[in-house]
Amino acid sequence: MRYERRQNKKKKKRRWRKLFFILLLLSASVFTYSFFLYKAGVSQSLQNAETEKVEYEFNGEKDENGWTNTLLIGSDSRGEEHARADTIMIAHYNMEKGKYKLTSIMRDTYVDIPGYGKDKINAAFAYGGPELLRKTIKENFGIDLQYYSIVDFEGFVQLIDEAFPEGIEVNVEKRMSENIGVTLEPGVQKLDGKHLLGYVRFRHDAVGDFGRVKRQQKVIKSVARELTSLETIPKLPKLVGVVTPYINTNMKTMTMLFMGKDFLGKENRDIETLRIPVDGSFENQQVSGSGSVLAIDIEKNRTALKEFLNK
C-alpha cells in the first residue's frame, strides 16, 4: 500500500510538472505573439509619426483611496515648447472595485497655478509641462495623479482607423466645419478617424467648449463599447503599438496592456463620466491677460470630484 501511494504521488508530481511546462510554453508563445503584434503596430505608425519626444519630469503618486489616476492631455502639437493643452482629462481605474471613470476638466477653468498665480488651467501645461499641470490639479481639486499621457491627435486617428476600418457610428447633431479640417453634415453616420477627430474638436457654436467636452465623453464611451463588442483582446497589443509613437507617457507598455485587457475582460464595462466645473459652480468672466474664463467655486468642484470617485 505504501509503495502504491508513493507511486501515485510520483505520478501526480510528473503530471503537475508536465502541466506547468505546457503552461509555461503557452505563456511564452502568447507573450512572443503579443510582442510581435505590438512591434508591428509600432512599425506601422513610425512611418508617419514624429518620433522625437520631450522628456518630462513627473512626480506622480498613487491615489490613497486605491484609484490609479492618469492625466490625459490631448494636443496637436508635437513637442512645441509652450503649447497649451487642448484637452484635459483624468482617467480613473480602480482594480479592486473593477470601476472605470473619466473626468473632463474644461480648459478655460480659472484656477491657481503654483508659482504663476491665477490663469486658465490649460496654461499650466504651457508653463511647466505635465508636472505643473499635476501640481495644479492636486492643489485645486485634491487628487493625486500617478501617470500622464500626452496624446497627439494623429494617434487618435490612427487608432480609430486600425481598430474600426468601417468607422464609428455617430449621430452628428448639426453641420460642423469651422477649424476642424473636415466638413460634417448632420445625421447618423459612420466616421473614420479624421472625421471623428473633427467631431470631438468642434466648439464653434452656441454651447462652445461645453458641447465639445460632452461630445468627447460620448465618443470615448462609444469607442469603449465598440471595442468590447469585437474580438479585440487579440488585437490589443497591435493597437497599443499603433498609438505608442503618438503618445508621450511615463506608463509602461505592459501596464497599458494590463489595464486594457482588464477592461475588455470585465462584464460591466460602463465608464462613468464627470465634467469640471459641475453645473451651478461657475460663471463666465472676462479677465485681463486671460480672456474669457470659467470662474469656479473650488470647494463645490473638489467635493463633487470626491463624491464621484467614492460612489
User: What is the CATH number for 279?
Assistant: 3.40.630.190
pLDDT digits (tens, 9 = 90+) for 241-254: 777 888 899 988 77
Residue 27 in this model has a pLDDT that exceeds 70: no
CA distance 121 to 152: 19
In a domain, 295, yes or no: yes
Percent of the chain with pLDDT over 70: 74
pLDDT digits (tens, 9 = 90+) for 285-294: 999 999 999 9
In a domain, 302, yes or no: yes
Mean pLDDT calculated for residue range 302-311: 94
Q: Is the pTM of this model over 0.85?
A: no
pLDDT digits (tens, 9 = 90+) for 132-177: 999 999 999 999 999 999 988 888 898 888 888 899 999 999 999 9
What pLDDT does residue 222 have?
87
CB 164 within 8 A of CB 173: no
Q: In the chain, which ranges are E strands?
A: 68-75, 87-94, 99-105, 109-113, 117-120, 147-152, 168-172, 187-191, 247-249, 271-276, 282-287, 291-296
In a domain, 166, yes or no: yes
For residue 190, give the nearest of 223, 146, 214 by alpha carbon. 223
Mean pLDDT calculated for residue range 39-67: 69
In a domain, 3, yes or no: no
Going by pLDDT thresholds of 50, 70 and 90, the confidence category of residue 24 is very low
What pLDDT does residue 151 have?
87
> For residue 297, what are the domain limits?
68-310
In a domain, 128, yes or no: yes
Lowest mean pLDDT among 37-46, 84-93, 125-134, 186-195: 37-46
In a domain, 172, yes or no: yes
In a domain, 50, yes or no: no
What pLDDT does residue 111 have?
98
Q: In 224-305, which ranges are E strands?
A: 247-249, 271-276, 282-287, 291-296
CA distance 9 to 249: 51
For residue 260, give the nearest of 228, 296, 287 by alpha carbon. 228
Domain count across the chain: 1
In a domain, 18, yes or no: no
Going by pLDDT thresholds of 50, 70 and 90, the confidence category of residue 4 is low
